[in-house]
Every structure is written in C-alpha cells, then in structure tokens.
Amino acid sequence: MTIPAKPAVRPADPRFSSGPTKKRPGWTTDALKDAALGRSHRAKPGKAKLKEAIDRTRAILGVPETHKIAIVPASDTGAIEMAMWSMLGARPVDIFAWESFGEEWVTDAKQLKLDAKVHTAGYGALPDLKAARLDADIIFTQNGTTSGVRVPNFAWIAAKREGITINDATSAVFAQPIDWAKCDVTTFSWQKVLGGEGAHGMLILSPRAIARLESYTPDRALPKIFRLTKKGKVDLEIFEGSTINTPSLLATEDYIDALRWAESIGGLEALFARANASTKALTDWIARTAWVESLTADPATQSNTSVCIKVVDPRVTGLDAEGQAEFAKKLASLLEKEGVALDAASYRAAPPGLRIWCGATIEASDVEALTPWMDWAFETLVSDLAR
C-alpha cells in the first residue's frame, strides 16, 4: 500500500487541547503587563482586579443582577464541590452523569451520604433528563468535555421545581447559551473556552441558591475554602472580590484580557459564532469521511467545543480492544509529531479516537487545515497495519 503524501497546508496554530485551551488570537505576554503583581489581593489594586473580573464576567454572559458571582479556589472542581458540600442534603438529589467529570460528582455524593439517584448513559449519549424530580436537587454537566455531548436545552428543568440545580458548565460557558432562570448554581473555570489559566473557579448563585445557603446548615464539617456564609448569612464580600484564599493576580489579569477580547469582537454572540464555525468545519469533514464518526449519537446533542471522534474503519475496529486503543494513541502521536495537532488524544476512558477542541479561541481555518492531516495520519497508520 502506498503511503500518502503529506498535505501542503498546516494549521497556523496546532493547539487543540481541551484544557487548558489555546489563548485568544494575538495573545502575547504583553497582555499581562498591568497585573497587580507583588500586591496583596486584599489591597485596593488587587481587589479592584478581582472585582473587574467578576463585573466583566457578568456583562459578557448576561448574568442577571439578582445572581451573585464569586472567584473560588481549585478550578471548576472546587466550585462544584463547594456547592455540593455547602448546599446539598436538604432534599434528595438527581445526578445526571454521562462522562468522567459527572461521575466524579457521583463519587462526591456517595462520600457525602446524600439520598442520590444516579442517571447515567454511556459515552456519546445523554441519560433520560426527563427523569428529574420536582422535589429533588439536580446536578448535571452542561457539556461533556470527555464525551463531546451537551445538553441541548433547559426545557427539562421545571420552572416550578422545589429543589436547586447545579450546572457544571465549565466547557460550555462562553460557547453555549445558559438559561439563568433554570440554573441556580453555575460553575466554570478560566482555562476552557476563553483560554485562561488554571486553578481558579467561578461560582454563580441564583437567589434560590442563596436562600438554600441561608436556610440549610449541613450536618458535616466544612473546610475553610468551602465556607460561603457567616453567622447564617451569605458572605457577600466573597462576591465583591474578597476571595476565600489567595488568588493569582497574574492569572486574573490573563482572564480579564480574555474578557476584554470577547467584548472587542462582539461579545457572547461572537463567541458562539466562532465556536460554531470551528465545529461545523470539523463535523462537515466527519460527514464526508468514512473512517470516522462523531462519538455523539444524536446531532442535537453535539458539543460545539469538545468534539470527540471515534474510528469506525473495519481495519481498526477488527482489532482487539488493546489494538484499537494503541491505534488511536499512535494517531494522536503522529499528528503531534508533525506539529499539526497537539493534545488531540481522546480521553483515556472514552472510546478510542481523537478529541479536537473547537472553542471560541480556535480559528475555523486551523480546523479546516487539520482535517486532511487526520486523513493522512490515518492512511499512514493503516498502511503500517497492512504490512
């Protein structure tokens, strides 16, 4: 079998990692020159930077004034666990888990000894969202970073629900709409759609979530970084830039820069459009390519950020599980060796294939340039199989 010729055009930027993701177009370290370095985060300059990050987040996302926004430690994981430890236990809980991070929240629920009903689905599918109970709290992941499946809408969440909803939106926010009337706790991290730095989480609380914090005291010890109340009332200073622990003002400046860029290109709709354009370039290629399929079973639930691809060619699917996993590993490694796609391997627990990030900082032209390289890499490796 003849080894195919390499494509003539390469992506201008090969960074397709699903987190931390590519920086915004044109980013340089000059974006950090105004960071309040060497200053206390409690001092006026540091606190002003944190407040600016909160205010710009509200403006770009259209978060209602009724909702409170805080910067919290330990990325999106910290934000989710802060909400779970502080708020859950008053009611039964419905957990919708269909990928690796959702499964982590199931583990947390067991450790917290919650009265939890777990609704699951395999990679590429959603569980039955209509199973959500009116009297239960709800935990769900809006976009499955490791499965490429997103919640298509929020109609399944009852307006007259009795419980609160916790939305892990970390790879959805800034790329997909959020119904703030249906999400009482919304969390995300800076290193996803806008390409910020890791370690910081965002916690957005609705009035219903605040009421839960002030009306329910869980029968468990709360670590300092999980404490959102003082003397039975929500600590409002946390939502004005007084963070619970010491944040990185360098990372904060980087996040502010990303928010300014988002504003400069037209705000949320422009971010949506960029993610959708990159995803379309990739899904159009999938539709015309015989050796791959989207991991997402239903096109209505196709992620527009973390697009997961499985290899379906019989020459590969005919291998045993170890052989298929090895083929997918070699596929990602060959793309990285050629410098056309970095960190493109599928999640280790997902079906063998590739995972291409298509969030708002990615250029659709780079995705288009990548697709013939994926064909080239596949044909090259299949040629090796035939020898």
Dump pLDDT digits (tens) for 74-128.
999 999 999 999 999 999 999 999 999 999 999 999 999 999 999 999 999 999 9
The pLDDT confidence band at residue 385, using thresholds 50, 70 and 90, is confident
pLDDT value of residue 144: 97
CA-based end-to-end distance of the chain: 8
Angle between helix 75-87 and 207-215 (nearest 10): 50
pLDDT tens-digit series, residues 354-365: 999 999 999 999
* Exposed / middle / buried, residue 363 (Cβ in 10 Å: 0-12, 13-18, 19+): middle
pLDDT tens-digit series, residues 224-275: 999 999 999 999 999 999 999 999 999 999 999 999 999 999 999 999 999 9
**Encoding tokens for residue 81?**
């666990």
The pLDDT confidence band at residue 1, using thresholds 50, 70 and 90, is low
Give me the domains of the chain, ranges plus CATH numbers.
Answer: 29-264 (3.40.640.10), 268-386 (3.90.1150.10)
pLDDT value of residue 348: 87
Residue 349 has pLDDT above 90, yes or no: no
pLDDT value of residue 386: 76
Task: State the Cα–Cα distance between residues 347 and 220, nearest whole angstrom.
Answer: 34
Strand, helix or coil for residue 187: strand
Q: Give the residue ranges of DSSP H helices in the chain.
A: 44-61, 75-87, 100-111, 207-215, 249-264, 268-287, 314-317, 321-337, 364-386
**Which H or E run contains 200?**
strand 200-205
pLDDT tens-digit series, residues 56-77: 999 999 999 999 999 999 999 9
Average pLDDT, the chain: 97
Q: What amino acid occupies position 85?
A: W
Confirm if 188 and 300 have CB atoms less than 8 A apart.
Answer: no
What pTM was estimated for this model as a whole? 0.97
Omega within 30 of 0 (cis) for the link into 20: yes
**Cα dihedral sign for 40, 46, 50, 51?**
positive
